[in-house]
Chains A and B, each alone.
Chain A
Amino acid sequence: MRKVLLATFLGSAAALAVGSASANDELNKMAQNPKDWVMPAGDYANTRYSKLNQINAQNVGKLQVAWTFSTGVLRGHEGGPLIIGNMMYVHTPFPNKVYAIDLSNENKIVWKYEPKQDPNVIPVMCCDTVNRGVSYGDGKIFLHQADTTLVALDAKTGQVAWTAKNGDPGKGETGTSAPLVVKDKVLIGISGGEFGVQAHMSAYDIKTGKLAWRGYSEGPDDQILVDAEKTTALGKPVGKDSSLKTWQGDQWKIGGGATWGWISYDPELNLVYYGSGNPSTWNPKQRPGDNKWSMTIWARNPDTGQAKWVYQMTPHDEWDYDGVNEMILSDQQINGQPRKLLTHFDRNGLGYTLDRATGELLVAEKYDPKVNWTSGVDMDKNSPTYGRPKVLDAASTDKAGEDHNVKGICPAALGTKDEQPAAYSPDTQLFYVPTNHVCMDYEPFKVSYTAGQPYVGATLSMYPPQGETHMGNFIAWDGKTGKIVWSNKEQFSVWSGALATAGNVVFYGTLEGYLKAVDAKTGKELYKFKTPSGIIGNVTTYENGGKQYVAVLSGVGGWAGIGLAAGLTDPTAGLGAVGGYAALSNYTALGGTLTVFSLPN
């Protein structure tokens, strides 16, 4: 008996060790090596910060192009490559090619993967056919294809190890986001908020591709993996049917809450973090209630999917302020106390800082002074509306009602920031945030739902804030206080992921195609180079052969390619004013290229 018990104990201990050791420890260790860039944001905390400092504020002005690589695809290129040892993995938008490039051998293509996908998925993708990149773990490269096939490729050969189907494009479900490997699982979200999907975060077994758990954004407790007593919102248990109670009838079944943003992970707390998007139709009148848990920051246990805490930022969305943007994890002091923080720049124009262990809300402030739909979030813990934003009547499309055009709402539906990820530097304790500076008119009207068809229900037009002509800012943000430290104007939205480095330099790309380097402390521009196309990709850095490189994908498109390609609507033109905003097409054209920079020898 004793022997049996002991054997069982040993067996389960071994199983535990295998479970947590494999990919997780390997990845954690690899992420510590600044020469590599092993996951989409560089590390689990989503900081997009590199310890490399060969390129620094003093010498970055001498930067030059080291090599370039054409992806052979024209559509919008989001995300960025992974670098593991001498290998670089470059992905493309649809048809979702992956190239494995040997950095030690003349950047030769070692293997190439190109799936055969039904092109009918193309028009089901909301805004261009973007893909935000691949992930690595257990000797495999993971890609979420447009048609929602999650594929595991042997990192050495490109051979398909397994595939899993994560959704149904026939219902409007598509794949655009980058997976994240956590322990023995591959986590992946899904797109299709404007098609009325019931979105979810799903975890697949890293060895077999078998679905381990799936947590929906809305629905019954057993579908959203929420425990009425143990899962909390702002410190209190969410209670039974926390989502169902906030929808009329069965509307949650087409409730959206897409999950295509970036995922982060805290190995110590054993929690993964991500955001859910808009509650499908843009006509708020058609879906009364808070529409939980759309527009929500989620903290889930990566082993079971169980939610530890949730926080809904924009209850009953009236503007398409998707909550999908990344969660950046940092350890900083607030009021002299060391805190484990989560900072999130929401589409709704508020920069949130929460305690990532408990979900306690610490800071919620506007990161663009033009944000005008809310007077701010109620921070009084004793208030019945604690944690809720106060919606101003003048900006409420729900109050105005169907067939009424509400003018001058800031930000526009694309948010003060969209998917383009911010960076965090522990050196300066600042966040570097690429932002949009765009407002809108918004008129909701009745729509009917058809599976696999857009389910929008609002007319919008977008333009820069009144009296201004620039449509973007690149800002430095103090997440502890919720204040802008410096802000650089950009003619167009900044739609590129930022990179912060120990060299006191921050990099980002612009829609005209510039790769820019600025001083981390002051924002002073130190270098710029115009790449072949507009940049909506994320800047990456790595070291190879003793040299630091900075790499970025250019290839204009995405949401940015819709409005900005033609120039936004000029709201004053109807009044006879001269003007109109310079169109992006005067600056750049399509084409996917990776441009890699280094200092001269």
Chain B
Amino acid sequence: MPSEENLLRKICSAIAAMFLIASGGIAVADGSGDPTAVKQNETGEWSDKEGNPTYKITDGSVDWYTYSGYRRYHSDCHVCHGPDGMGSTYAPALKDSLKTMSYADFLGVVASGRKNISTAAENVMPAFGDNPNVACYMDDLYVYLRARSNEAWGRTRPGKHDDKNDAYTKNEDSCMGKK
């Protein structure tokens, strides 16, 4: 069983982030602004100057979050959103969506889902807030897709990557409800 407390913390921080970002609005093709990595936390996650998670790719080697996000994306997201965030015949290309979508909105949509129903199309994104396989990896997914969106990473599986560190593993186990 996943730790509900941990999931709740994720969602709460998502909502808090929504308020923080609302004042953003920078005119670049990234819904969260300049993706340049400026700071790394103890789990190996990089953030930009606004404090949003971001990728760090050096000489073809990616940070752990980008790599982890690639793996998680190609398990739970690609069956609708297509390989490499390229979209499918019935779900948008997330590599393009992130050009206008902020980190906070991303977290909100993944956690709560979204309906876009018109006479022409019926697109429904499910709520993944209760699914630890997705909810525990929101930042990983975001970081990978942000790299795709900024064309910092192409249509391939990342090869060289930072290793998973102990702080990350501890968080992951706690979120996934592992002892």
Contacts and interface: CB of A to CB of B under 8 A. Distances in A.
A48 to B, nearest CB: 25
Nearest to B126: A123
Contacts of A459: 70-72, 74-75
Given A562-B80, A566-B88, A122 B132 contact: no
Interface in B87-127: 87-90, 93, 113, 115, 117, 120-126
B124 A566 contact: no
A31 B15 CA distance: 60
A74 interface: yes
B20 interface: no
B89 A557 contact: yes
Interface residues of A, number: 50
Contact of B84 (A405, A447, A453, A569): A569
Contacts of B71: 443, 445, 459
B83 A129 contact: no
A569 B155 contact: yes
B154 interface: yes
Contacts of A119: 115, 117, 122, 124
A570 interface: yes
A424 to B, nearest CB: 30
Given A456-B76, A566-B93, A122 B177 contact: no
B58 interface: no
A128 B155 contact: no
B70 to A, nearest CB: 7
Given A75-B89, A120-B124, A461-B74, A456 B133 contact: yes
Contacts of A124: 126
A167 interface: no
B177 to A, nearest CB: 7
Given A122-B124, A441-B157, A562-B82, A128 B75 contact: no
Interface in A100-139: 119-120, 122-124, 126-129
Interface in A406-458: 441, 443, 445-448, 450, 453-458
B159 A462 contact: no
A445 B90 CA distance: 27
Contacts of B126: 120, 123-124, 453
B176 interface: yes
Given A561-B89, A562-B82, A565-B89, A574 B122 contact: no
Given A456-B133, A565-B88, A574-B159, 20 more contacts: A94-B122, A123-B113, A124-B126, A128-B89, A194-B79, A447-B133, A448-B2, A453-B128, A453-B131, A557-B90, A562-B79, A566-B83, A566-B84, A569-B83, A569-B84, A571-B156, A573-B155, A574-B154, A574-B156, A590-B89
Interface of B: 1-2, 70-72, 74-76, 78-80, 82-84, 86-90, 93, 113, 115, 117, 120-126, 128, 130-134, 154-157, 159, 176-177
24 contacts: A74-B120, A122-B123, A129-B122, A282-B75, A446-B176, A448-B1, A448-B2, A448-B177, A450-B2, A450-B130, A456-B76, A457-B75, A459-B71, A461-B157, A557-B90, A561-B90, A562-B78, A565-B87, A566-B82, A566-B86, A566-B88, A569-B84, A569-B155, A574-B157
Closest 6 CB pairs of A and B: A566-B86, A561-B89, A123-B126, A574-B156, A453-B131, A122-B124
